[in-house]
Amino acid sequence: MDSRTRRPGKRKAKSGCRTCKIRKVKCDEGRPACERCISTGRVCDGYGIWGGGGNYYGNRQPQKAPNLNGYSSAIIPRPHAPLSLLVTGKEDTGYLEWFTHRTAPKLPGSFISNFWTTLLFQATLNEPAILHAVLALSAVHKGGIVKSADHQEHITLQHYSKAIKHLRPHFELNDRASSRVALITCVVFVCLELLRGHFSAAQLHLMSGLKVLQQMEVLSAGEDGTPRVRTSRESTDDWIISAFSRLRLQVELFKYTYQHPSLLSQGPAQDCLILQSTGPDHLAKDFGSINDAWQELERLLNQIFHLTHQARQHVAAPIEALHTPLTLLESQVCIEIELTQWHHKHELFNHKARSGDEEKVYRLLQLYHTMATIMAATCLQPDDESIFDVQTPRFRLLLQHAGTLYFGTPEPSRGNAAPKLPGQYVNMTNSIVDVGWVAPLYFVAIKCRVHPIRLRAVRLLEQTFHREGLWDSITAACVARKVMEVEERGFYEGVDMGDEAELESEIKELDLEMETLPQEYRLREVEVLLEGAPMDRILVFCKRRTVGIEERVLVSEYDVSLGRWKDEEGGYGGRLLKGS
């Protein structure tokens, strides 16, 4: 037969049920079973990990598949759609391979996450929206390593647009399976925007995802501020919620130093269960894994965020009460008791054999536990910065944990200090999207007014460039040093401050006897805004009380392209000194 008269072959179907994909016919994507299969008497094999399938003459019973968290899933285990059905072209295959071997192993950090190790890979093979989101993320990550940002940005925007296009039918269906597709894509979008330095867009994606979880009624806010989920959930939902919870934690830590609305609105918690189980029986159990320890600590951090928010509302009440409400004091005591119990269980877990990565996470958990203990002890007096002075031993301990982490990392892995804040280009080899040590060190630098301790925290942040989602060490160090300079300027005049603290030397007891800053020198409610897409300005605000009225005051503004604060040229930063 002449090639010119040969009948064209059927085009490969890139979406739809597995039965239609195998038959290479267009699927109408009906749920739970497509009309095309039903009308021909076939059994619809469904939509991969999103379930569905069967026919009107009797659906097959789904098998229960266990997962690492001990829950069971009602997902029907079937072979994944062949990769060639969704990925076309050598370039896309290259980006997917980059994601598999470079992006996915690096970005989640040291914590084990079923979302990154299992769910995202399964979803990528079956859902075009998620595939294109992953390819966009891979392009951003690759561009930050091979230094071809312009080309990678073009590829990123192409796949970003395709992902949004493929999401539209899911928004119209608005069923559980489609919501999962949207949520997984949303997590990838958040990570993508964080790496691009588009921090406002990342937070908007995060809030949208949390809203979808609440609309699905699998997630709500408990009375103690802890995210709560339905008891009748599937493991897929757990993995998705866990991914959102970690991203939300980063934002809450970033905003912890000033009053802000919670990312998770308060709502009824009937027929719900806290994501991390609680209660006397649970508290008595030893940690079976690093993730067990982290999940319990994350729950306690969420309770501290909520209690701090309640305390700020109490202080800001029109008629301030003379005493802190008993309910808040009781909550504080309960959290402190649980933090002590957590520490005992963590110490017991310390005697178990661990790999190198587990040892790193173990040290990181110590860091966060110490920070959480300081937060819990000070959260009911948000208007009193002097409350942190009695926490000096804990600040010092936190710094020791950070030093152990830093000097326990091989020198080539620490990275090199950036000469100025990252702008268009970010070195992705030192970037993750999970929590790390930047937030605790920033907390020390902002809240501890013992000069040698806070200076050591700033120096550790400045020593390497490392990005952790919303946080990066250079930005944190830049803001922390500015706050320190504004607070201390003038007070230590004539006092021998010594040289810049050596990181490996011990903090001497004599150094700790240096006079701490008086209350009137200290900035309250330090708020940081990262402006631009990608970030090109940093705005630092604080609260100041004038004649009984609270004012939000601009401390200073940093120009990323120029690499300096505006008040360094006679601007407005110095006006917050004593007597201004």
Distance, CA of 513 to CA of 101 (rounded, Å): 51
Contact 145, 429 (CB under 8 A): yes
User: Token pair for residue 307?
Assistant: 């209690």
Residue 205 CA to residue 84 CA, distance in Å, equals: 30
Alpha carbons 51 and 405: distance in angstroms, whole number: 43
Task: Let me know: does 540 contact 526? Beta carbons within 8 Å.
Answer: yes
User: If you search the block for the tokens 């008595």, which residue do you land on?
Assistant: 284
CB contact at 8 A, 177 and 52: yes
Structure tokens at 56: 């009107």
State how far the Cα of 279 lies from the Cα of 215, in Å rounded to an integer. 27
What's the half-sphere exposure (Cβ side, CA atoms, 13 Å) at 103?
26
* Amino acid (1-letter code) at residue 551: E
Other beta carbons less than 10 A from residue 326's beta carbon: 8
Buried b (16+ CB within 10 A) or exposed e, 475-509: bbbbbbbbbbebbbeebeeeeeeeeebeeeeebee
Stated as kind and residue range, the H or E segment containing 539 is strand 535-546
Within 278-391, residue ranges assigned H as helices are: 280-284, 290-315, 326-349, 356-378
What does the pLDDT read at residue 217? 78
CB 299 within 8 Å of CB 252: no
What integer pLDDT is reported at residue 160 of this predicted model? 96
User: 175-208 burial by CB neighbour count: b if 16+ within 10 A, else e?
Assistant: eebbbbbbbbbbbbbbbbbbbbbbbebbbebbbe
Can you give the pLDDT at residue 570? Answer: 43
pLDDT in tens, the chain (580 residues): 454 444 444 444 456 777 787 778 888 877 667 878 877 767 777 766 555 555 433 333 333 333 333 333 333 233 333 443 566 688 888 999 999 999 999 998 877 788 998 899 989 988 999 999 999 999 999 888 776 666 778 899 999 999 999 999 888 887 888 999 999 999 999 999 999 999 999 999 999 999 999 888 777 766 665 666 665 467 788 899 999 999 999 999 999 999 988 776 544 333 333 344 344 445 557 888 888 899 899 999 999 999 999 998 887 765 555 566 779 999 999 999 999 999 999 888 776 656 667 778 888 999 999 999 999 999 999 889 999 999 999 999 999 999 888 877 655 445 554 445 544 456 677 889 999 999 999 999 999 999 889 999 999 999 878 889 999 899 999 999 999 999 998 888 777 666 665 665 667 666 677 788 888 899 999 999 999 988 999 999 999 877 778 889 999 999 998 888 987 654 444 344 333 3
Please provide the distance, in angstroms rounded to a whole number, between the alpha carbons at the two ends of the chain: 92
For residue 25, the Cα-to-chain-centroid distance in whole angstroms is: 41
> Do residues 136 and 174 make contact, with C-beta atoms less than 8 angstroms apart?
no
CA distance 546 to 252: 28
Mapping DSSP to helix (H, G, I), strand (E, B) and coil, where does residue 527 land? strand
What's the one-letter identity of residue 108? P
Closest residue by Cα to residue 527 from 516, 538, 512: 538
Q: How far is CA 125 from the centre of its chain?
A: 25
Q: How many CB atoms lie within 10 A of CB 340?
A: 10
Q: What's the CA gap between 505 and 464, in Å, rounded?
A: 18
Q: In DSSP terms, which residues pair with 539 in a beta bridge?
A: 529, 557
Percent helix, strand, coil in the chain (nearest 5)?
55, 10, 35
Strand 72-73 relative to strand 65-66, pairing: antiparallel
**Residues in a beta bridge with 467:** 431, 472
Q: Within a 13 Å sphere around the CA of 564, how many CA atoms are in the beta-carbon half?
A: 7
pLDDT of residue 545: 78
What's the chain's Rg over C-alpha atoms?
A: 26
- Nearest CA among 334, 312, 120, 323 for reference residue 226: 334
Return phi, psi of residue 431, to 5°.
-120, 135
How long, in residues, is the chain? 580
| The pLDDT value given to residue 390 | 94
Alpha-carbon distance of 195 to 191, in angstroms, equals 6
30-35 contact pairs (CB < 8 A, 24+): 31/173, 31/175, 31/177, 32/59, 33/59
Residue spans of alpha helices (H) in 514-560: none
